[in-house]
Structure 1
C-alpha cells in the first residue's frame, strides 16, 4: 500500500511571501482595472470612470476586495497561480500537495471577501481564512518540493 503525502506546516509560505503576494496581486488587479477604465474612456464611454469616482470610501473598499478576488479567481483557475505567487516562489496546493480543485479555488476567492480577512494572516503559520475555508495551502515551492522528494525516497 502506497503512503500518502500530506502538507506539513514546515512548507507553508512565510509571512514575507504572503505579504509579497498581497501587494503584487493588489497592484496588478488595480493596474488591470485602470487599463479597463482607460480603454473605456478612449472608446468614448466614461461611465466606469464616473461610477468609480462617485464611490464613497466604504464602496471603494468593497469594490477593491471584489476586483482583487476576481483577479485571483481568474488567475488561479486559468494559470494555477497569481503573479504575486510566481514572484514570491509560492504556490497553492491541497492537503495532499496536489493542484486544488476548481471548487476549492472558487471558495478561496469568495473567502477573500470576508471583512477583516487580512488579519487572519497574523497567526503563527500564516494561513488566511480563505485558505482554511477552501482546505488549501500556500507553500514555499522550494521547501515543498524538497519535502515531497524526501517523502517519496523513504
Structure 2
C-alpha cells in the first residue's frame, strides 16, 4: 500500500542510544563476518594446499586488510539494508531504514547511504541529530512498530467521511 500523503513524523526517529547500539552490534557482525571469512580461507588453504592464497593474504599488509574490512562493511550494509531495509542490528532493535514517506528506501538511496558511511567521523554525526549517512541519502532510521501504527492511523483518519462501498 502506498503511503501517499503521509510524511514521516520526527517523533518516530530512533533515539541516539538505539543508533549507538545499532552501530556497536553492526560492528560486531562485520568483525564476525571478517573472522569467518579468514577462518574459511584458512581451512581452504589447509585442505587444498592453496599456498598462493596464503601468500596473497600474507602480502596484503595493513592497507590491504583495511580495504578488505571496508569492502565487508560496505557490502554488509548494501545487502542487508538493500534487501530488507534493515541491518542485523536493526532487526534486533526493531528499527528500519525508510524514506520521508515512511516507505522502504530505494536501492539508489541505500547505495548513497553505504558510501556516506565512509565519510570520516560519520559514525559520530548522529549524536547531534540525524547522521550524515541519513541526511545525505534522504533516509531515516525509525522504530518499525511505531511507524506501522502511525501509517495505519494516518490512513484510517483519511477514511473518515469517505463513502463506504458495501
Question: Smaller-chain TM-score range?
Answer: 0.7 to 0.9
- What runs of 5+ residues in structure 2 fail to find an aligned partner? 46-52, 158-166
Q: Which has the larger radius of gyration?
A: 2
Equivalent position of 2:163 in the other structure: none
Equivalent position of 1:150 in the other structure: 153
How far apart, CA to CA, are the structure 2 residues paired with 1:17 and 1:47? 42
TM-score (norm 2): 0.79
- Closer, same or farther: CA 12–49 of 1 in aligned 2, 3 Å: same
- Structure with the larger RCO, 1 or 2 (CA within 8 Å, 6+ apart): 1
TM-score (norm 1): 0.85
RMSD: 2.2
Q: Does 1:81 align with 2:86?
A: yes
One of 140, 143, 151 as aligned partner of 2:143: 140
Q: Contact (CA 8 Å) 1:66, 1:113: kept in 2 or not?
A: no
Matches within 5 A, 1:108-119: 108-119=113-124
- 1:34-77 CA distances to partner (integer Å, 9 max, x unpaired)? 1111111111133565356x317xx7666544432221111112
How far 1:96 moved relative to its partner? Answer: 0.6
- Closer, same or farther: CA 132–47 of 1 in aligned 2, 3 Å: farther
